[in-house]
A = this chain, B = another copy of it.
Amino acid sequence: MTLDDAKFLALAFEEAKAGYEEGGIPIGAVLVSKDGKVLGRGRNKRVQEGNNILHGETSALQNAGRLAPEAYKGATMYTTLSPCDMCTGACLLFGIPRVVVGENKSWLGGEAYLKSRGVEVVVMDDPQCLELMQKFMTEKPDVWNEDVGGNLEGVGH
């Protein structure tokens, strides 16, 4: 963990909080280039847009736009929650070498698989990320189970 990691995770948390305030699934992500530039940020949009492939990470990637493969070299994906199988795969597809996870107590995703493929994974155990996720999971278990929560056969389970 570095000071920059805390700064960029805070941006991902802003996305998650905005998602919560919209009535959505509060997971946010920020993609940051090797030289510390925010390439894209986003949040889960299942509820807001009825879009089931827009998770935090895929949303950040989409918002980064059409980039050359070089843009992802040395980049870091910051995400408030451990990445699901799709977002794990998205990080691998784009060759993102480092993933910083806010917390993985609410749900554990593809961290082991990322590591097995050579990706550096840093878990921040952030209390704010955990608190927001726990609040949402208690308030709207049905929405959570419709999304990643329903993936009981996920990597971590």
Using a CB–CB cutoff of 8 Å, the interface residues on chain A facing chain B are: 46, 50-54, 58, 61-62, 64-69, 84-90, 92-95, 110, 117-118, 145-146, 148, 150-151, 153-155
Copies of this chain present: 2
User: Are B145 and A69 in contact, CB atoms less than 8 angstroms apart?
Assistant: yes
User: Are B66 and A52 in contact, CB atoms less than 8 angstroms apart?
Assistant: yes
Contacts of A92 in B (CB 8 A): 85-86, 89, 151, 153-155
Contacts of A94 in B (CB 8 A): 52, 151
Min CB distance, A20 to chain B, in Å? Answer: 18
Interface residue from B67, B93, B148 paired with A93 (Cβ < 8 Å):
B148
Interface residue from B52, B64, B89, B95 paired with A89 (Cβ < 8 Å):
B89
CA distance A97 to B72 in the complex (A): 31
User: Are A88 and B90 in contact, CB atoms less than 8 angstroms apart?
Assistant: no
